[in-house]
Amino acid sequence: MNKAKASSEKSVSASSRTISLLSQLEKINLDPVLGESDSARHVTSKILHLVQSQEKTRKEMTSKGSTGIEIILSTLENTRDPQTIVNILNILIEIVSIGGGRRASVLVTKGGTQILLQLLLSASKDSPPNEELMVLLHTLLAKIGPKDRKIGVKARINGVLNISLNLVKHNLQNHRLVLPCLQVLRVYSTNSVNAVSLGKNGVVELMFKIIGPFSKRNTSLMKVALDTLAALLKSKTNARRAVDRGYVQALLTIYVDWHRHDSRHRYMLIRKGVLQCIKSITNIKLGRKAFIDANGMKILYNTSQECLAVRTLDPLVNTSSLIMRKCFPKNRLPLPTIKSTFHFQLPVIPASGPVAQLYNLPPDVDDVVDESDDNDDAETESEIETEIDDDKDQHFKNDDIETDINKLKPRQELGRSIEELKMYEQFFPELSENFQEWDLVSKEPKPFVPDANLSGPIVVPTASEEHSAVANPSTKGVALKECSPLLTEECNRRPVFLELPKKDSAKGGSLHQQNDQRNMLPSSQCLSQEIVKGLDRISLQNSAKNDQYSGTGCVIEKENKAGITTLASSKPCEHVSPCGGSLFEGSSVQLGKLCCTGVDSEEEEDSRSSSSGEHAALQVSDVSPVHDCDLYLEMVKNTKSIPEYSEVAYPDYFGHIPPPFKEPILERRYGVQRTKICQDIERLIHQNDIIDKVVYDLDNSSFSVPEEADVLKFNSKFESGNLRKVIQIRKNEYDLILNSDINSNHYHQWFYFEVSGMKTGIGYRFNIINCEKSNSQFNYGMQPLMYSVQEALRCRPCWTRVGTDICYYKNHFSRSSIAAGGQKGKSYYTITFTVTFQHKEDVCYFAYHYPYTYSTLKMHLRKLESMHNPQQIYFRHDVLCKTLAGNSCPLVTITAMPESNYYEHIYQFRNRPYIFLSARVHPGETNASWVMKGTLEYLMSNSPNAQSLRESYIFKIIPMLNPDGVINGNHRCSLSGEDLNRQWQNPNPDLHPTIYHAKGLLQYLAAIKRLPLVYCDYHGHSRKKNVFMYGCSIKETMWHTSVNAASCDLMEDPAYRALPKILSHTAPAFCMGSCSFVVEKSKESTARVVVWREIGVQRSYTMESTLCGCDQGKYKHKSIIKEGLQIGTRELEEMGAKFCVGLLRLKRMSSPLEYNLPSNLLDIENELIESSCKVTSPTTYVLDEDEPRFLEEVDYSAESNDEDVELADNVGDYEATNQDDGLSDPDSTRIHLS
């Protein structure tokens, strides 16, 4: 007790004593007579003693509101007494030495830098200079300099640059003085003009007098000299001077010497300092050439390989890797042109833009090569100093955010005359249909019976769970581990798959009859060995059938439908033809080759089926078998592709079911990217080991597939396929090149190709070498997808995540300025992954994401139309328009039939609000189609909640806005070579027909005063995880700018947040924190912004689904799942269904009669979704991202020296506070979220 009291009294005493001493010092400053006496020296010595002995004194002097620093600096500025100056400098050094950069920043803000520089200038005039004073001054300047962004300019203006340099020159042996002087020179050199000035005065040569071979003496001085030299060499002028004097060779020699002698790794910082100097010099072309000529690649490669075994030496390995990658000679892509292999002549050539430039290129221009020297301008500092750079705000400002409130305010502009818009009246017969001729029976929705036929959502055609439904339609939750033995026996005994009966498609046929016919078909996955052999010879026989399928409305433009096909087995094929299946007769369609004569006898039950324990099998619902292989082939025949594809990929033919195990986000192995880069560097060092053989080439029409047994065979000549060229690099390593979007020279991301001829137990490395985005989720746990035909024949037709040693990094292939939009010195990026195949002689397919072709969509819609109950569901399948290639763009209408043809029921039917949905404007975002599939299935299901949803809304759906892009394997563009989601402001009917007419539908609804309640465009996102939405809000846009005054009194209905908020509560994959409602200038021509601004739909959204996975909620809170789960078709379809649930809740919230519904009633649809989906566990160029950029939780550096500027808008931070502000407005519509 007494000790505590004594300590407290002592603390108070010290505090009051400091205040007293500072007061005395302040009085001395005000009295010039006292200032000349010993008083200042005496007081400052006492303050120094307190500062040295008590941390509290140091804190008090720099605390907020304290005037201690001002008094000390004022004394320093006014006194001429050397001892007082020394005392004060020691005080300041003690203050800033402990406490981090904050105290140094306080000293800078009080004007300390300027006072110290003036003192340095005056002290330098003494002859000889006071060594003690110079040491203290430089020590203090070195500590506060990094916190003063303008110290370089201040030093130059005050004329003190050469003072420190001259001190070093004349005192090379005085290490006590040289060390702080070098530290100050390093600070000065951060300013490029200062670096050039110092270089002219011989500072570079001076540094090489200090640094040298290995020595245990003066290592601290060596380290500081290297840091200073590295900063000086960032100037291109100094770097050239170093190259001219042969210092590159000298630095390599010094590095090797330190590497050899530092066996205990005690001087790693010195070795890294040498590497930093080499890195600075190699920022220029001359430096890179000198590095190569000095055999630098081999030197750094060998030394880094010797460092790999020691984890603490990773900084050396990483820096060496960066230097080698930068100095690796840039190669051109081995292509004749970067334009797409396929050409489509546009009906109209745009007057300007990338497509116009592409068409205006002279035919003899080499658009692949890039003669520019990358990094010269991009990765070095400018030699021209501008005050703008010095005054630049440190905080990132997103100039893309729209700040003009007049442009932000929605203004309903039809843009087309009423007479012109009348052409869209034909797509809205529901608004005039009186149903007088329809046989309607007034009835309540049927109760939900789980075991009834067609119970639950109708799952449209993915070969999904067919065998379980056929084997035992009433059994729920059959684990997909193996085929039913009874079913397999039935398949072997009576392969009716090869003798498909004719379907009775008379209008009005009962659902039970249709279901019985479907049940006669065995599962396409449970193929016996006889059937497998028969698959190698499949012919498609066209029969002149005039089948009609039931529907509630007439299709405005129906495609000519060939009859249901039969699969006829010709003579059995003991050995597979290397060329694949034979062409189909008539409209020829060729099934991809089947490289196996049946299922391997070995490993009948491989490890994948052992899904007990942590790989618990996910149950699937028992639904009617709806994947129709024959119907898919029929759809393919009417699909028009530019290459005129005649083959069908097996995954699209067999279909896909979600695998019965979880697929966690892959945990990246440490050092994998470094290892891959080293292997790439070995190509230059050991060139004789490189095979460099072309094994697949779309540009060469006469190219034949290699016959060698140990070479993989590739193919991409099928719908949505994308692979242009393959080069064998090593025995089991291949470089792959993707095709550009048609009428474009970039957008390389989507891939889908076939591989065969593999062996088991061998790791094959695949490198996709012409990617363009500066980073990818492949660096953060995403895996590519693989489909094995052998697995499909074993009743596991699944796309599964595969690959190890996955990474994404900048490579040594240069992008021409033509391909980079005029930017020079850009590089391509590599996706690399290694796969070990499970089955010999298998046929496997790889894809960027789960493929979903245009023909699959047509098959799904045909099935939906034929399976629905016309007395319960109003379903229309119209053709909105024809695409450039002549394919149909489907338009689907779904709602509930009126209960009767009485006026009240017809009136309610016609006045239901519209929901307008669209998807797949970007072909590579296939996840959008899977989400749309989930939406369509839910809307067509027989559950009471789906019926309630249909009775609440009329759904207008365009499930695929860009059919041509999807068919031809594009990633982002249509055949016009343009991003269709940037054409909504002024779509051209000749170049962008689907956008022109989709906008026309919305304009028509606006003209007749029937604005949709919600518009949502489904997308995929390649750089973020989870699912989220982008909307439009004036107020939230203004919040993200400095123009806050204009939005203070702005009134805005916050209802635009209701649907995302609902989804965040109901959908496990949905993340409200990633949502944004900011309107950006670069997005003003997207669907979301145009529909909000011009059409006037307040709830206009883009819904983004991750291509990677989910890392929140039930997807992450599991002991076996550290990073989350990779997203699959099950989760995507669930998201589509949950979106419907959100709309139902939105309807209930907006109805006054249902505000007080019990929560269990509001949650019933969630329970139904969970039971039907059976889910047991749940981010072109960067500037071309479809929606606002976000600061992801991961670092996107990828060790590539790229610094992508992302919008650090912290959307999650303002959600709670600003939402409350919006909801507190008295005139705002209040929403109640359960």
The residues that are catalytic are: 1104
| DSSP string covering 806-826 | EEEEEEEEEEPTTTTTT--SE
Is the separation of the CB atoms in 328 and 814 below 8 Å? no
Cα separations in angstroms, 539 against 51, 570, 579, 648:
93, 9, 15, 12
Is the separation of the CB atoms in 713 and 755 below 8 Å? yes
Under DSSP, the state recorded for 863 is H
Is the separation of the CB atoms in 810 and 1200 below 8 Å? yes
The H-or-E segment that residue 42 falls in is helix 39-53
Ramachandran category for residue 947: left, alpha or beta (phi over 0 → left; psi -120 to 50 → alpha): alpha
Is the separation of the CB atoms in 532 and 596 below 8 Å? yes
Is the separation of the CB atoms in 1026 and 1200 below 8 Å? no
Cα separations in angstroms, 476 against 455, 750, 1172:
11, 37, 10
Is the separation of the CB atoms in 367 and 338 below 8 Å? yes
Place of tokens 């299946």: 581
Peptide bond into 572 cis (omega under 30): no
Structure token pair of residue 798: 């699944």
Distance CA 626, CA 148 (A): 69
The H-or-E segment that residue 494 falls in is none
Is the separation of the CB atoms in 1041 and 1086 below 8 Å? no
Cα separations in angstroms, 459 against 514, 528, 863, 1166, 1177:
15, 25, 10, 18, 20
Is the separation of the CB atoms in 707 and 299 below 8 Å? no
Helices (H), 342-432: 354-360, 387-390, 405-408, 418-421
Mapped onto helix, strand or coil, the DSSP state of residue 878 is: strand
The H-or-E segment that residue 518 falls in is helix 511-519
CA atoms within 13 A on the CB side of 856: 28
Residue length of the chain: 1234
Is the separation of the CB atoms in 416 and 1000 below 8 Å? yes
Distance CA 684, CA 327 (A): 11
Under DSSP, the state recorded for 781 is T
Distance CA 942, CA 952 (A): 15
The arrangement of strands across the sheet holding 888-896 comes to: 873-882, 888-896, 954-958, 914-919, 1014-1021, 1099-1106, 1027-1030
Specify which residues 331 forms β-bridges with: 813
Rg (CA), the chain: 36
No. of helices (H) and no. of strands (E), the chain: 46, 24
First to last CA, the chain: 56
Q: Which residues contact 852 (CB under 8 A, 6 or more apart)?
A: 920, 926, 929, 930, 933, 966
With vertex at residue 617, the alpha carbon angle to CA 611 and CA 622, rounded to the nearest 5 degrees, is 145
Task: Tell the burial category of 142 from Cβ atoms under 10 Å away from its Cβ (0-12, 13-18, 19+).
Answer: buried
